[in-house]
Structure 1
Amino acid sequence: MNDQTEHSLQGRGCPVAHHGSDLTRLYGPEAATDPGGIYERLRKEHGSVAPVLLEGDIPAWLVLGYRDSRRVLENPLQFHRDARTWRDLREGRVADDSALVPMLAWRPDCVSQDGEAHRRLRRAVNDALQSAAGRGVRRHAMRFANQQIDTFADSGRADLVADYADCLPMIVVARVLGLAEAEGRRLVESCAQVMRGGEDAVLHDGVIKEILGELAERRRSEPGSDLATGLLEHHAALDHDEVVSHLRAVLIAAHVTTNLLARVLELILTDASRLSGLISGQLNISAVVEEAMWNSPPLAVLPGRFAAGDVELGGHRIEEGDLLVIGLAPGNLDPEIRPELGVSVHGNQAHLAFGAGPHECPGQNIGMAVIEIAVNVLLHRLPGLRLAVPSGELTSTASTWMSLLDSLPVEFDV
């Protein structure tokens, strides 16, 4: 952070003004390899809310506590979604090509708005998702799961991250949106780059919007049985930009689901009792998904909320225009609600993985259906499925927003 920027922040309510410029970064080498260690250190130093720096050394408050996270998520009057009130953006400290823009900037969608504007758009998304889900999500998931497995079924080996989890949910949801399979596969890398951050994030966000914009134009003249058509024909009368922004939001959510699928497969393959229980039918896949949601949520940090006015949170003074990001992963492991992490969470759906409040993920049922089918097809298609390396050799790499399993090498009988 340069001296001019730091000086301009003195006396304001932002984290830099309160704590100086020597703040913990949620990006970079340490954050990539040990995000959990950073969360716990911040919890010990600052409590349930901690000052941090995001890419470009942009200050934010990271909410680490479960109860404070729910307070922020469930109170849009105090902590709203409109990034146009974000002080650092308003005052020119966030560059147009910042990697934060694709994740935090305002868009004409229900994710970025509150109140009546949010309700109007959210109803359209809910209706379109429900209609699209009833027209074949499970059928698409079954087809593409088998198709992906066909590419490696004869080899006896695979990487279930690169060869399966990274692409399957994206291809399924792309088809639900109304895209061809080739377009869905092209978007896998662009969505990954947006979530990963870095200098190419804005460029890849442009690719996503271009492809989805072309889809919206096609469906305006050639309607189909898909989400794009459902949004275009909804009585809420969404305009072009609103339709494209909502298609993008659903696609990004599908990319997050790829990480959940990878984590569920990791849990299954690193525990023989889980694997045998699923194969025999004694264990339901929902129990494994719940465990993953609690202990390694697919989105580790949720962007972002903006303080509508001065407020106290977690013993810190938050001022109007401050950015808050919600630590879903540290919130789920908060010792105030989970003093014993080994206790079973089966049947407990109070995790933060889907968010909470009016902006809770609307497409969670679709994601759960894709994961259930992806796991079931895999286990039935690949007899003798097992890890090809010791579980201790599995590694992850994190960005600000997600901690991704690098690979999941397996072997199976042919």
Structure 2
Amino acid sequence: MDQRDQSPYESPHASPHESPSESPHASPYESPVPEHHGLVPLHGDLLAQDPRRVYEALRRRWGAIAPVEIGPGVGAWLVMGYQEVLELVWNEQAFSSDARRWSAIAEGSLPEDSPLLTVLGWRPALNRLDDEAHGRQRQVVTETLNGIDLRRLRGAVRQQAEALLDGWGMNGHADLITQYARPLVWYAFRVLIGLPAPGERTLAALLGSITGGAHDADRAEAELMRTLHRLVAEKREAPGPDLTSWLLAHATHLTEDEVAHNLASILRSGGESTVGWISGTMRLLLGDARLGSAMATGRLTVTDVADRALWDGSPVPNIAGRWARGDIDFAGCRVRAADLLIPCLAAAHADLLVHSSHDAGTRAHLAWGTGSHGCPAKDVARSIVETAVDVLLSRLSPVRAGVPDSDLRWQPTLWRGTPVALPVAFPPPLPDPMAVTAAPAPHTVMGVPERRQEERAAADSGPTVQRWGWWNSMNGW
């Protein structure tokens, strides 16, 4: 994106000097959106307010696509129209997923330690590749994820959810983000990739820094990659019932570096988005008593409410960008080669054009992305979310919001659609003197790769190897 001119954007939607308040169609969510040299700065504290206000103000000001600044001196296009987002992610002839094309890198306007690179930078993983290289890794990851026994996964999540509730259920109040959704989701992902227990807090801290745009995001990513490379080396020696071992065993033979980076991609895109989906589903139920009544009478299911939550508040408000392969006219704007375009799912889901069509209320939402780069782990995420919500509703009844929805604070980042906290209150259950609390049993959610079981048996018959000491040293993160 050429930033040598003060305002390099050619938009038919509004004059750069027109104020959003001058629009004839007033909005209840209108929010003042500042500009800096023709760009709207979407960093700092702006997104800590209700993101719906920000995106609606941007749409009213610019239309389907807005020129924004996602870091100091780093410009991008925020694509907010539903149809425009579809075109952006489907048209692979015009738009690339390979960040090595990014003009901000070539021109040196992006510092090497920028937190943006932990989300948008290039790496040898399926979500940052194009064409045949992407197809090769996509097949491996998809086939590996399809090997997960979702029934076992739901059982593991349910048992851990019950254990978490046992820890604070007598209090009568809780924060569903920090005390439930986040530790539960990271427990599930730890089991999926085969990391030893404990480890949920470390994963949550590392990925929180990476996707939250923290000042130490580059350090957190380096630590995450060291952890995953060690894990891959361990699983190469002694495969187990986990995604890591299955990725290594696939006939396509990914390198250990590719396996580690694809694990990081799964964690980066899957963890906090699943936390956000749980919180979004509960926010809907807490804010609309009719939904609870409809579920009680069988007119709605947890699945129905969870799908509605993906429309109402995208767990991932913006997904990793695309780069223009060449100069192109897009959504009425002149986009230049190597410009970054960010698909804004939160704004696309609020597009009045789609809500006036038959698609609204169906699974036509874009929460999973779409096209060849659509999320391959949606069944895993759905299993975790539906189980988590079901356990909450069965154990905490009735449950009510601890603060009004309008008082929730949001994380000031483009990449996470989860409030900082989701306080709830509920009547504590009467103590059961006969109840016995048992620690959750270890769980596996898939088998050991068959063609490597003999290798593992041979390794187990040899000298005992002390493993995972490196993980224990990380628990202070």
Task: Find the counterpart in structure 1 of residue 286 from structure 2.
Answer: 269
Deviations 1:227-285 (A, max 9, x none): 00010011111101110111111112122110111111111122222224335544211
Report the Cα distance in structure 1 between the residues aligned to 2:304 and 2:150, rounded to whole angstroms. 24
Return the offset for 1:170. Answer: 1.8
Aligned partner of 1:409 in structure 2 is 423
Once the 2 structures are TM-superposed, how far is the Cα of residue 345 of structure 1 from its aligned partner?
4.1
- The answer to whether the 8 A contact 1:166-1:258 is kept is yes
Amino acid at match of 1:381: R
Matches within 5 A, 1:351-366: 351-366=365-380
Contact 1:35 1:398 in 2 (8 A): no
* Aligned-partner residue type, residue 374 of structure 2: E
Task: Tell whether the 8 Å contact from 1:58 to 1:94 is kept in structure 2 after alignment.
Answer: yes
Counterpart mapping for 1:248-259 below 5 A: 248-252=264-268, 253-259=270-276
Aligned residue for 1:148, secondary structure, equals helix
SS in 1 for 2:354: coil
Contact map agreement 1:13 1:322 (CA 8 A) in 2: no
Give the secondary structure class of the aligned counterpart of 2:195. Answer: coil
Q: How many residues align?
A: 405
Match of 1:291 in 2: 308
Q: Distance in 1 between matches of 2:359 and 2:257?
A: 44
User: Residue 32 in 1 paired to residue 48 in 2?
Assistant: yes
2:23 paired residue number: none
Q: In the alignment, residue 356 of structure 1 is paired with which amino acid?
A: T
Pair 1:28–1:222, CA change in 2 (3 A): same
| Identity within the alignment, % | 32
**Corresponding letter in the other structure for 2:386:** E
- Output the CA distance in 2 between the equivalents of 1:280 and 1:9: 57
Letter matched to residue 311 of structure 1: I
1:280-308 CA-to-partner distances (Å, cap 9, x unmatched) read 54421121112111121101111210001
AA matched with 2:93: L
RMSD of aligned Cα (Å): 2.4
Which residue of structure 2 aligns with residue 330 of structure 1? 347
Alignment CA distance shift 1:15-1:147 (3 Å): farther
Matches of residues 210-359 of structure 1 in structure 2 within 5 Å? 210-252=226-268, 253-279=270-296, 281-339=298-356, 345-346=360-361, 348-359=362-373
Contact 1:267 1:292 in 2 (8 A): yes
**Unaligned stretches of 5+ residues in structure 2:** 17-35, 430-477
Counterpart Cα distance in 2 of 1:133 and 1:255:
22
User: 2:273·2:417 contact (CA, 8 Å) conserved in 1?
Assistant: no
Q: Give the equivalent residue in structure 2 for 1:195.
A: 211
Spell out, residue by residue over 1:114-173, the C-alpha distance to the aligned partner (whole angstroms, 9 max, x if none): 111111100100111111245732122112211211211222221111111122112102
**1:381 and 2:374 are equivalent in the alignment:** no
Deviation readout 1:303-362 (Å, 9 max, x if unpaired): 21000111111110111111111110111111222259xx9944x111111111110111
Which of 1, 4, 8 is the equivalent residue of 1:10? Answer: 4
- Provide the secondary structure at the position in 1 that maps to 2:241: coil
1:296 alignment partner AA: G
CA distance in 2, matches of 1:129, 1:358: 16
- 2:156 & 2:107 partners in 1: Cα distance? 46
User: Rg bigger for which structure?
Assistant: 2
Which one-letter code corresponds to 1:264 in the other structure?
T
Structure 2 match to 1:370: 384
Which residue of structure 1 lines up, in the alignment, with residue 91 of structure 2?
A: 75
| Pairs within 5 Å for 1:119-158 | 119-134=135-150, 136-158=152-174
- Deviation, structure 1 residue 215: 1.1
User: What SS does structure 2 have at the residue aligned with 1:106?
Assistant: coil
- As a proportion of its length, which structure holds more helix? 1
How many angstroms apart in 2 are the aligned matches of 1:37 and 1:391? 14
Aligned-residue offset at 1:14? 6.2
Deviation at 1:178, TM superposition (A): 0.7
Counterpart of 2:468? none
Per the normalisation by structure 2, the TM-score is 0.80
In 1, the alpha carbon distance for the partners of 2:257 and 2:83 equals 35
CA contact (8 A) 1:15 1:59 kept: no
Q: Using the TM superposition, give the Cα deviation of residue 95 of structure 1 relative to its aligned residue in structure 2, in angstroms.
A: 1.0
Q: Is the Cα–Cα contact under 8 Å of residues 160 and 410 in structure 1 kept in the other structure? A: yes
Task: Give the Cα–Cα distance (whole angstroms) in 2 for the partners of residues 322 and 166 of structure 1.
Answer: 34
Is the CA contact 2:7–2:37 (under 8 Å) kept in the aligned structure 1?
no
Runs (4+) off by over 6 Å: 11-14, 16-20
Contact 1:132 1:225 in 2 (8 A): no
Q: 2:114 aligns with which of 76, 98, 110?
A: 98
CA distance in 2, matches of 1:324, 1:133: 37
Q: Which residue identity is paired with 2:73?
A: D
Residue aligning to 1:162? 178
Distance 2:5 2:71 in 1: 22
Q: Answer yes or no: is the 8 Å Cα contact 1:78–1:309 preserved in 2.
A: yes
Task: Please state if 1:41 is matched with 2:35.
Answer: no
1:392: Cα distance to partner? 4.2
> d(CA) in 2 for partners of 1:199 and 1:396?
18
SS of the residue 1:399 aligns to: coil
Q: Tell me if structure 2 keeps the 8 A contact 1:14–1:60.
A: no
Distance in 2 (alpha carbons) for counterparts of 1:277 and 1:181: 39
- Does the Cα contact within 8 Å between 2:44 and 2:412 map onto a contact in 1? no
Following the alignment from structure 2 to structure 1, what is the Cα–Cα distance between the partners of residues 418 and 146? 29
Aligned equivalents of 1:290, 1:34: Cα separation in 2: 21
Of 177, 199, 205, 2:193 maps to 177
